[in-house]
């Protein structure tokens, strides 16, 4: 666990403290050969990523909260696709693997598949980091362009 935890520090920027803690606990449990327990924590991370997107979407006009509540996870991911990282949307089956681990797989099977599930979640988080950095660059560029235009006595677009 001590070897793996430094690798996930970069995800602090896109995760709340409790979700980061769940990710770390999942990794720690897997390092101590606890397969099913590690899946529980990774599933919580996955569900939280979807719920964060839901929190944004439900404030939009035209959102149907009652329909959303009736949906299964794959349907929720489809409904939230414009608010979720592309990797999560295109690999929504990751949730099925997490659920199967909780309900059907043995400890050893969960441990064998843990690295695959972890990699999927890390790719989702990597994409969130990239999107966040892209947004910061866009805001910085926009501000710099507007400042430059303002210093030349121009505003807006040409």
Q: Please say whether the dihedral angle defined by the alpha carbons of residues 50, 51, 52 and 54, taken in this order, is positive or negative.
A: positive
Give the pLDDT score at 3.
59
Torsion of CA 64, 126, 47, 49, to 10 degrees: -40
62-110 tens-digit pLDDT: 999 999 999 999 999 999 999 998 888 999 889 988 888 888 999 999 9
Give the pLDDT score at 40.
94
Say if pTM beats, i.e. exceeds, 0.85.
Answer: no
Q: Distance between CA 34 and CA 111 in Å, rounded? A: 7
The answer to whether the CB of 73 falls within 8 A of the CB of 50 is yes
Q: Distance between CA 30 and CA 45 in Å, rounded? A: 15
Residue 143 reports pLDDT greater than 60: yes
């Amino acid at each position: 666990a001590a070897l793996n935890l430094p690798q996930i520090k970069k995800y602090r920027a896109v995760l709340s403290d409790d979700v980061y803690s769940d990710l770390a606990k999942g990794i720690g449990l897997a390092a101590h050969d606890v397969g099913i327990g590690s899946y529980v924590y990774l599933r919580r991370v996955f569900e939280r990523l979807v719920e964060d997107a839901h929190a944004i979407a439900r404030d939009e006009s035209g959102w149907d909260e009652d329909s959303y509540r009736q949906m299964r996870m794959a349907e929720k991911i489809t409904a939230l696709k414009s608010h979720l990282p592309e990797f999560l949307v295109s690999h929504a089956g990751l949730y099925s693997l997490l659920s199967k681990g909780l309900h059907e797989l043995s400890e050893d099977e969960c441990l064998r598949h843990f690295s695959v599930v972890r990699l999927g979640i890390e790719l989702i988080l990597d994409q969130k980091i990239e999107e966040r950095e892209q947004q910061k660059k866009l805001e910085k560029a926009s501000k710099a362009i507007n400042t430059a235009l303002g210093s030349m006595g121009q505003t807006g677009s040409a």
